Amino acid sequence: MRADRLVATLLLMQSRGRVTAAEVAEELEVSVATARRDLEALSAAGIPVYPQSGRGGGWSLLGGARTDLSGLSATEAQALFLLVGPAAAVSGEAKAALRKLVRALPQTFRADAEAAATATMIDPTRWGERDRHRPEMVDLLQAAVIRRRKVRLTYTNSARQRSERLVDPWGLVDKDDIWYLLAGTERGQRTFRVDRIVDAESTEQPAERPDDFTLAAAWDEVVGEMEQRRSTTWATVLIDARFVPILRDHFGRHCHPDGESDDGRARIRLAAPTPLDIARNLAGWGSMVEVLEPRAVRAELARIGTELARRYAGEDDQSVR
């Protein structure tokens, strides 16, 4: 795409100061004639690009002019528009930033950038769900992370016990519409669900953060520990192969194909925290799914079935007409 080459050419000139058509052609793997036409196109578009003839000549940016895309490669610039474009559908700030970024581009390839920005969109709301809204608490915590200020939290844990803590906020993560705060405490790194934070107050005390801390790596550790706790019970089940995608949607990474049975059904390994958790997810399948093991899951399914039978069996059919 010519727009990509024009961005790459401009950034190359910014990094080197002066270039020849031959240098541009070699760097971008195009012909010298194509490189010369691109340089002329930049000049015609109003960008202060001008040629110098003679020994040591070439093409330069007048007065060392620069654009707001400094430091980005052509591929990175295009990827940025593709990334920010979908985000603009759910964030007013992203939409405003996108408009400013597009205006920073030369007029000749602004249309391509706008097209890339609107090529995809994100609708974060699942079918049947209400629109999701960012909790106000997130804004307060995010400001504290950026300013590196300690935060005083009033927090309720899973056992509904309330406590007050002074923490060093390190980063925020939104996973499946649930926000988490990763923070440093007296006992080391801890993870707090934002929806369990009753109150938060940003202080003026400087927050400490390890020099080698990265949010992505820290979150990977949190996810690994959580997934390990969520997979303490494994079960082997048989089901018609066409239903495997549905099981995979329910169990996610805890659904593993394990071959095929003699009658052609798919053999699947499933995991959850407890036998009851697995049984609850499978009870609605009735006889379409068969649990081979462990015995604990089979027992929970039998118990659930007995409870349902006791509640609903023997009802007068006339009463439900």
In a domain, 27, yes or no: yes
CA pair distance 234, 257, nearest whole angstrom: 13
Give the Cα separation of 291 and 238 in Å (integer). Answer: 6
User: What amino acid is encoded at 106 in this protein?
Assistant: P
220 within domain boundaries: no
DSSP string, 95-128: HHHHHHHHHTS-GGGHHHHHHHHTS-----PPTT
Closest CA to 155 of 207, 189, 193: 193
- Per the domain annotation, does 225 fall within a domain? no
d(CA 239, CA 146): 50
Shared domain check, 19 and 109: yes
pLDDT of 109: 52
pLDDT at residue 65 in the model: 47
Domain span at residue 184 reads: 136-212
Residue 140: which CATH number? 2.30.30
Q: How far apart are CA 239 and CA 194, in angstroms?
A: 39
At 242, which CATH number? 3.30.70
pLDDT in tens, 230-282: 889 999 999 999 999 999 988 888 999 999 999 999 999 999 999 999 999 99
For 302, the 3-state DSSP assignment is helix
Residue 109 burial (10 A CB sphere; 0-12, 13-18, 19+): buried
Q: What is the largest CA-CA distance in the chain?
A: 102
Same structural domain for residues 175 and 282?
A: no
Q: Count of alpha carbons within 13 Å of 116, Cβ hemisphere only?
A: 23
> Is residue 177 in a domain?
yes
CA 196, 202, 208, 209 dihedral sign is positive
Tell whether 24 is covered by a domain.
Answer: yes
Assess if residue 114 is contained within a domain.
yes
Whether residues 204 and 294 share a domain: the answer is no
Measured CA to CA, the distance from residue 275 to residue 273 in angstroms comes to 7
Using a 10 angstrom Cβ sphere, with 0-12 exposed, 13-18 middle and 19 or more buried, the burial of residue 77 is buried
- Alpha-carbon span 66 to 64, nearest angstrom: 6
Instruction: Count structural domains, the chain.
Output: 3
Clarify whether residues 113 and 39 are in a common domain: yes
Per-residue pLDDT of the chain (321 residues; tens, 9 = 90+): 456 677 777 777 776 778 888 888 888 888 888 888 888 887 776 677 778 776 667 888 765 444 545 444 555 555 555 555 555 555 566 566 656 566 555 555 556 666 655 555 555 566 776 666 678 898 899 889 988 999 999 999 888 899 999 999 999 988 877 899 999 999 899 999 999 999 999 999 999 999 888 888 899 899 888 888 888 999 999 999 999 999 998 888 899 999 999 999 999 999 999 999 999 999 999 999 999 999 999 999 999 999 999 988 866 555 545
Residues 106 and 17 in one domain: yes
Q: What is the pLDDT of residues 199-209, one digit of tens each?
A: 999 999 999 99
Question: Could you tell me if residue 228 is inside a domain?
Answer: no
Single residue among 93, 122, 151 that ends a domain in this structure? 122
In a domain, 318, yes or no: no
| Residue 45 CB-density burial (10 A; 0-12 exposed, 13-18 middle, 19+ buried) | middle
Preceding omega of 294 cis (within 30 degrees of 0): yes
Give the separation between CA 85 and CA 119, rounded to whole angstroms: 8
pTM above 0.75, yes or no: no
Residue 118: CATH number of its domain: 1.10.10.10
Q: Do 187 and 269 have their domain in common? A: no
